[in-house]
Each structure stands twice: as C-alpha cells, then as structure tokens.
Structure 1
C-alpha cells in the first residue's frame, strides 16, 4: 500500500532568449526555465527520504525485452551487481534533480545512447536550466486573434510522435497567453513540449480553467514514450484523478479528489494571461 508524501512545491522562473522578430509578424525565441524549492508551500523538505519504483531498472527492463538473450542476461546480472532492485530509496532532492549511479555509468559506457543523459539520473534532471525548444509564434500585429499562436516549434508545423494526424497537430498558443475577450464557451488550446502534444483548457468556474488530458490508451493516461527516448513513460493527474477507475484497482492507497488532484489555471479573461 502506498502512502502520499508532500506535496513538494517548486517555483518555475522562465526567461526568453534569442528573441528574433520576422517580417511576417512572427517572433522566435527559446524559453529557459529554472526551478526553486518553495518550503513555505510544501509539506516536507527536499531532505525527506522516500521510496518509489525504480524507474531506471523497470524502464530498462522494458526497453531490453527485444534484445538478444545474452544482452538481457548481462544487464540482469549488472542490476544484481549494483544492487539495483524494483524500488529505490532516496531523498526528494536526489530523485528530482539527480544522483550518482554506478548503473548509469555502466550503461552509458557499454550501451551508449540507451539513456537520455550521461550525467546524474533524476526525474527532472534534464528540465532544470533547460529550454523548451525553438518557438516561433505570431505577434498578433496583423490580427489580434492570432496573438501568441504557434507558427512552428523547432522548425516543425506538425509532430511525428503519434499515429494520427490529429494528435500530431500543433494547435493553439505556447501556453502563456491567448487572444483577449474570451467567453465561457471558449477553449484555450496550447502546445506543451513536455507532454509532446497539444492540449486545451476548458472553463470550469469564475477564475479557473480546467486542464483537459487527451489520451490514446486507458482514460486518464497519456503515453509519451515516443518522445522520451522510447522509455515506457506515461503521465496522468495525481492519484489517477479522472482516469479509468480500473487503474485504482492496481494500486492501494489512492484517493483522487478534484479539490486536491485536479489541474487548473487562473487567468484574466479580458487580457487572456495566465
């Protein structure tokens, strides 16, 4: 049975760089982000010790299943040698931002390219001090309805991660502002590089827009493996909120509620800023 720890809250600071305006009323930029722990808003500290599934081992096991038996046997022996099991106990800071791992060093040496990082391994190690790619967006100078709408991302006008043209579409804005004078019936589409696809916010109540997670498998789960180095990675709301109830049968200790686990955003309707 699992036990919830946290939440651990981080404040994200964003800074746009390499800003370039183009003659067709678009502007390109890269947005760099940094995360800072907020103790006053968290329940616990980064020094808290927690136990979670060892995603490095479990992910590697799935990725290796189609390799020759000799390779799989070598990796299995390596797991035992480095005393890597299905669960991992570390501090919150180590799990979030990375820790030294002899297993990571071994895999990078003998199976280069298998892991997305050659340094420390952490859930968000590659996010801190990184950028979200090259965005080219419309300024809205010629038509205010186009303000902040994405023209391309990393030079692409559509993705190649998904099986259908609809899922590969880059819709909406970059997720920080939308055209002004929205109504309650308006949806706010945006492209999320972290989710590897377009999403949308739907009006819920005054002051709040509810996040909508479109999925390809069981309701409430989004498979992002194709844009995460083919690692078996899925994202969902906390506690599988709004997901297929059958998922709760596999994990004891989950109790999803809208108040604690739903995603929402607050923005000014006339200016359409988050």
Structure 2
C-alpha cells in the first residue's frame, strides 16, 4: 500500500486505470430575446444533455523526499467524449452566460465611475453580450474569448496572477496539467496517513477563510482514506482544490458491490455543507471577509479562490436551497435526493475508493456595476445556473487490473487475517499444553522423590533385619 518507486502499486498510482465518467447537464437559456424585450419577466432554462466524457488521470512531475515519507506531484487530466453514452451531439448550440463579462463587471464595481464607463465602452467595442451561443463541446472543454485574452495579457504585463487556463469552459480549468503542486503522505512512516495531502503549493493551509479549520489543507485526495478511520467508521475529509476547502464524508451503512461479492462501507456527503451560518455556526467562516455577506441556504461561495469570478456551488437544480433561488429562474425541476446524492464506496479494511458518485451545480452571479450598462436588464445578485455535473466511478466499468486489486485486498487479506488468527490460537493452545506438562512434571517430581525416599527407607530396614 505504501507509495514508493519500488512498490508494486506505483504504476496504478501514477496512471490509475479506472476512468471516471463526467456527465454534464447544461442549462440552455431559451427566452433571451423575450427577456431582453421585457416580454418575459423571468429567464427560462431547459436542461440539455448529459454530454458524457471519460476522464483520465495521470500524476506527473513526481518527486519523493529523501526519506520517502512524502511525494509531490501535479495532476494531468484529459477528457474523451463518449457519444454512445451522451444525449446530444458535440455540435449542439447552447445559449449560456458570458462568464468573462460577468467576472469583469463584478471586478469593475470596485473601481471609480470613469473606469467602469470605460470598461462598458470596451465591452461594446468587443461586441460582448451577457449571453453567448456556443457548441456544447466548446462550452464544456473550453473556448477562446477576446475579453479573457486581453485580461490575461494585462495581468501578465503587470506581474499579477492570471488564470491557469487560456480558455473558458466547464472543464477548462481541469483539462491538462494542473498548476497546483500537491504534497502527499506516502504512508511509509504511518500507514494510516497514506494518501493524506499535507501541503498544496508548499502551504499547509489556504488563505481565503476566517478560521484555521476552514483553511486547512490536510485531507484525503479522494482515492485513498486513512484505513483506521474507515475501519472505525469515523468521519472523513477530502480536498477539492477548485473549491479551496475540504469536504466531509460521513458513514452511512455497510453495503456490497460487484453483485454482492465485495463488502463496502458507504460514505456520503452530509447536507449541512450548504447550510447557512445561522443553521450551522461552523459555516460562518465561509462568509465574505470583506463585506461580511453570507451566501443563501443551499449555495457555497467559491469566488475568493476563483480569481474573483462570482461563482457559487450548489446541489443540482438548487435542491434544498433557498426558495428565492428556485423561483428566480423558470425551468428548474424538483429532483429526487437519492438520484443526485454524493457517495463513495470504500474498502472496509484498506480504505481505498472502489466506486462512487459526486454531483454539484455551477452557478455565476450577476453583480452589477453602475456605469456598465450591459447588465442593466438583470437583477443584482441573480444566480444564473450554468450546468450540473455528475462524476461517477461505476463498479460495472472497473478494469480487470483494478478488480484484481479489490479481490486480492478482500480475500487474500481475509485469508492472511484468518491464518494469523487461527495460527495465534494454535500457538496459544500448544503453549498452554506445554505449560501444563511442565507444571505437571513440577507437581509430580516432589511426589516421586517422596515415594523413592520411602522405598529406600524400607530397603534399609529390610537389610537391617
């Protein structure tokens, strides 16, 4: 289980053979003309898809420390479209929010009126509108945008931090080599720390939230969890760098996978991660440090760690969120909680992931700035759903080499455990028998000596006679 250059699992770790399926459900806005002309009071969306992509993960630039206790690496992801599993074509045209325009407007509100006016004129010159029409595949994997290109050039010219991706899209920031350098515990010194992320870009904490607990980085990477905690069914945490936080998982029940052949511990994401600060005081740390504003129930604000883009995460179709979010947009549906819950099936002894599913929705917020007229028609603070994603590792699609690992970890480990248990029992039994024989000899020796002495005395008496 230990991660090292000499271990048998290094190839599986650097280039895992299980491939997750990423199912993207896009919210297509269908009444933009009617809304702009004030014929319709609310925007209307129609969910299209899912467009399914197979995700491949590779760990690159791998470096071990001198003692072999830690390993640093970057993640490289790639996405392959699966038309056989998708409901729709890559060329489907969708009408979606113009994310660079939304981001630029939100940032401009902190500048003076003349800067905002100049920015509005700049948008007019580029013919940028609040919504764009794109092929589904480009909106998912990434597309070039003039506003983004110019802003990237400006930030580099001024020596500022720029976006890691040159394109805009749902999966654009995850496609290719990730900029984050992850430092992970190899488990060499302590197997119960195997897979724990110790540092991100050389730091053991974020700098976005108001408490150390919310800023902490130490957590699992989502593939392997501390075996001891899993065996005891204790709460777990895994790190999502794109959300700049760790997310909890709680034990739900004992389950089975692979047609009931393999036992599993099912963990799920608790509902309280999207609770308000009033409902769960621990969520207070995720409120804005500058304004003090807290997000509504059912959403999580990722703007601070997303280069200022007003981004929010929620459940699909705002399930369980504040009623105002559901009624602000037409076309949202009421989903069954069981159909979209986030869960993971862990190996009961080893703690590695065998199958599971994660679901979440991406939203962008309208943040108006006086002088930027492009967003005059839209309500300030309106949350626009972009898409919801379902990332699934299905047990039916697991490759044979990974299945072999699962079966060996289950049955070989069980056999070794039984051998140790019965071997220990047998050793204990033999030891007890030996002790009894020794004690018996110890007890019988004085008796034999006494008998021998009496015999000698009788012989002596007979000889005298």
TM-score if structure 2 supplies the norm length?
0.54
**Residue 242 of structure 1: CA displacement?**
3.3
Check 1:250–1:128 CA distance in 2 against 1; reply closer, same or farther (3 A cut). Answer: same
- Secondary structure in 2 aligned to 1:133? coil
Which whole-Å CA distance do the structure 2 matches of 1:270 and 1:27 have between them?
23
Give the alignment partner of residue 350 of structure 2, picking from 268, 271, 274.
Answer: 271
Partner of residue 165, structure 1 = 212
- Offset from partner CA, 1:100-139 (integer Å, 9 cap, x none): 3333344445676696268433333232112262222222
Partner of residue 229, structure 1 = 307
Structure 2 residue 95 is the aligned partner of structure 1 residue 51: yes
Partner of residue 95, structure 1 = 139
> Would you say how many aligned residue pairs link Structure 1 and Structure 2?
274
CA contact (8 A) 2:198 2:219 kept: no
Please list, as runs of the form range in 1=range in 2, the aligned pairs for 1:1-274 lying within 5 A after superposition.
1-22=44-65, 23=67, 25-108=69-152, 116=163, 119-131=166-178, 133-180=180-227, 182-183=230-231, 185-205=233-253, 206=255, 208-212=266-270, 213=273, 216=286, 217-255=295-333, 256-274=335-353
**Residue 65 of structure 1: CA displacement?**
0.8
Bigger mean CA deviation after superposition, 46-55 or 131-140: 131-140
CA contact (8 A) 2:101 2:147 kept: no
**Residue 55 of structure 1: CA displacement?**
1.7
CA contact (8 A) 1:104 1:118 kept: no
CA contact (8 A) 2:301 2:312 kept: yes
- Offset from partner CA, 1:12-50 (integer Å, 9 cap, x none): 111112222231622222221112222222221221111
Whichever of the two has the greater Rg, that structure is 2
Check 1:119–1:138 CA distance in 2 against 1; reply closer, same or farther (3 A cut). Answer: closer
Check 1:78–1:126 CA distance in 2 against 1; reply closer, same or farther (3 A cut). Answer: same
Which whole-Å CA distance do the structure 2 matches of 1:118 and 1:77 have between them?
26
Check 1:106–1:146 CA distance in 2 against 1; reply closer, same or farther (3 A cut). Answer: closer
- Secondary structure in 1 aligned to 2:45? coil
CA contact (8 A) 1:108 1:114 kept: no
Bigger mean CA deviation after superposition, 146-155 or 121-130: 121-130
Check 1:245–1:271 CA distance in 2 against 1; reply closer, same or farther (3 A cut). Answer: farther
CA contact (8 A) 2:79 2:175 kept: yes
Higher helix proportion: 2
Tell me, which stretches of 5 or more residues in structure 1 are unaligned?
A: none
Tell me, which stretches of 5 or more residues in structure 2 are unaligned?
A: 1-43, 256-263, 275-282, 287-294, 354-465
- Offset from partner CA, 1:149-182 (integer Å, 9 cap, x none): 1221211111101122221012321221112362
TM-score if structure 1 supplies the norm length?
0.88
Output the aligned Cα RMSD: 2.5
CA contact (8 A) 1:9 1:41 kept: yes
Partner of residue 17, structure 2 = none
